[in-house]
Amino acid sequence: MNNENDIHTIYNPRSNTRINPNSVTNKEAQLVRTTSRDGSYHNVESNYVSHDDNKERVAKKSISIKANLYKLWRACFSASAKKIYCGVWVTVCITASWVAGTHFIKYLFHSYSIISMYNTSDIPPHLEHLSSSDGLSPTEIFCDSIRNFRNNNFTAGRFLIRCSSFCVLWVLTNYMYVNSLRFLLATDVIALFATNVAYVYLLSWVILHEQFVGLRIVAIILCNTGVALLAYMDGTAKNYTLKNVLLATSAAASFAIYKVLFKKTFGNVTLGQLSLFFSLTGMLNATLLWPVCLILYFTDVEILQWDKLPWSILFGASFFFLITHLLGNFSVAVTYDLFITLGLITSVPVSAALDIVLYGTNFYGMKLAGIILISVGFFLVMFPNDWPDYITRLLRWNRKNRGPQLASQRTDPDFRTGLIRSNLRSPSGRVK
């Protein structure tokens, strides 16, 4: 007879009804009673799973997959991800336009440096439409920009004086940059101009009282070392190399002064204010500085043959530098400033490839070492202020992931054989 306490399974049914052994009626795993050789009974967990459990598990798995796909979709199309995508395109465009403009001027430098400087100066149009995302008309944005300048205690005369100062500083930067191409390769000049990020940080620390970061001081030292190596890459006998390296470095320093003084004078500005400032600077450039070209022409400092001027190349250089200037100043609305600055250093390998293909240049010795040191210093300057925190997080994450793996590799000490894994004693018990 069956005991009342017995579990009714397919081996111990309550009735005489025959149950198919392949079917399981309970949703949970069943316990099966088996008999051992000594006659005792014990329960064994059944491996049978119901069809409903399979459906429920598949449903949960599909829901988790959909949730993970949705999270991935949100991460790929979030606001920060879109800024990163735009930043990559901005870096590529700045690199291409900067390299193209520099190589155009390198082709023209020997006779048309002043004309190239004049055409590549700061003459952007008044791009008010870039600020019209709020549904405002260009007139309203123009009035709002003037109102913001007035709120910062800028009168008309004071604003014109500031714009004239920045106009002269920008033209001086372009003039030194263009004339440094007289004896230097485009790659050398681009690398030397990339040191402006180090000078920007140094001036920001002194003038704007930014946070002191020791790593960036090391970056400044590396950049200066790279400049020194490039200055003497042709030996001490060729003084023109030293002069042109100093000229390109002065252009980088002048550009750094321009950026820091702009931040100090105007602070954080809107795109409308930025457009108004550059438009007025461009008009002052075209209005006040044209006598300089006439003076250089009539004093025979610059000999120009108007019928032989390569106007297509001149306009091409002006166009590419204008694109670089616009992207460098207005792309901050769609991406991070880091990607804009990276365009300066990514131009170095692209320009080097063009120099090798077009002029058969070989980069070796002090020239190669100087460019590498400047590049390393550039990337060190771009490190964030709290870079040690990121390294600490990375170490903690690595330790957390490797912890279970290291724990599984450990073995318990065997005191009978002397295998105690001690750093002070050998497995035999002797002191090491």
**Residue 49 predicted with pLDDT over 50:** no
State mean pLDDT over 65-81: 80
Q: Are residues 233 and 319 in the same domain?
A: yes
| Res. 432: pLDDT tops 90 | no
Q: How far apart are CA 55 and CA 138, in angstroms?
A: 61
Tell me which of 386, 404, 425 is where a domain ends.
Answer: 386
Q: Is residue 408 part of a domain?
A: no
Place 132 in a pLDDT band, splitting at 50, 70 and 90: very low
In the predicted model, what is the mean pLDDT of residues 330-335? 84
Structural domain contains residue 225: yes
Give 128's pLDDT tier (boundaries 50, 70, 90): very low
Is it the case that residue 225 has pLDDT exceeding 90?
yes
Percent of the chain's residues with pLDDT above 70? 72
110 and 250 in a common domain: yes
Q: Is residue 382 part of a domain?
A: yes
Predicted pLDDT at 129 = 42
CA distance 231 to 184: 10
Q: What is the mean pLDDT of the chain?
A: 76
Same domain, 110 and 27: no
pLDDT at position 90 over 60: yes
Q: Is 25 inside a domain boundary?
A: yes
Residues 34, 105 share a domain? no
Q: Considering only 133-142, 220-229, 282-291, which range has the smallest mean pLDDT?
A: 133-142
Residues 368 and 231 reside in one and the same domain: yes
Residue 5 has pLDDT above 70, yes or no: no
Of 69 and 137, the one with more pLDDT: 69
Residues 221 and 329 in one domain: yes
Same domain, yes or no, for 184 and 37?
no
- 3-state SS record for the chain: CCCCCCCCCCCCCCCCCCCCCCCCCCCCCCEEEEECCCCCEEEEECCCCCHHHHHHHHHHHHHHHHHHHHHHHHHHCCHHHHHHHHHHHHHHHHHHHHHHHHHHHHHHHHHHHHHHHHHCCCCCCCCHHHHHHHCCCHHHHHHHHHHHHHHCCCCHHHHHHHHHHHHHHHHHHHHHHHHHHHCCCHHHHHHHHCCHHHHHHHHHHHHCCCCCCHHHHHHHHHHHHHHHHHHCCCCCCCHHHHHHHHHHHHHHHHHHHHHHHHHHHHCCCCHHHHHHHHHHHHHHHHHHCHHHHHHHHHCCCCCCCHHHCCHHHHHHHHHHHHHHHHHHHHHHHCCCHHHHHHHHHHHHHHHHHHHHHHHCCCCCHHHHHHHHHHHHHHHHHCCCCCHHHHHHHHHHHHHHHHHHHHHHHCCCCECCCCECCCCCECCCCCEC
Q: Is the pLDDT of residue 6 over 70?
A: no
**Is 54 within a domain?**
no
97 lies in a domain? yes
Per-residue model confidence as pLDDT tens digits over 293-316: 778 778 877 777 777 777 788 888
What is the token pair recorded at 82?
């879109």
Number of domains in the chain: 2
Q: Do both 112 and 208 map to the same domain?
A: yes
Domain encompassing residue 100: 93-386
365-392 confidence digits (pLDDT tens): 899 999 999 999 999 998 888 777 777 8
287 and 160 within one domain: yes
Confidence tier at 133 by pLDDT (50, 70, 90): very low
Residue, of 370 and 146, whose pLDDT is higher: 370
65 located within any domain:
no
In a shared domain, residues 168 and 282: yes
Least confident segment among 193-197, 245-249, 301-305, 381-385: 301-305
In this structure, are 148 and 12 located in the same domain? no
Q: Are residues 188 and 321 in the same domain?
A: yes
The whole-number pLDDT of residue 230 equals 92
Report pLDDT for 420: 54
Confidence at residue 53, expressed as pLDDT on a 0 to 100 scale:
66
Does 110 map to a domain? yes
Lowest mean pLDDT among 219-223, 327-331, 344-348: 327-331
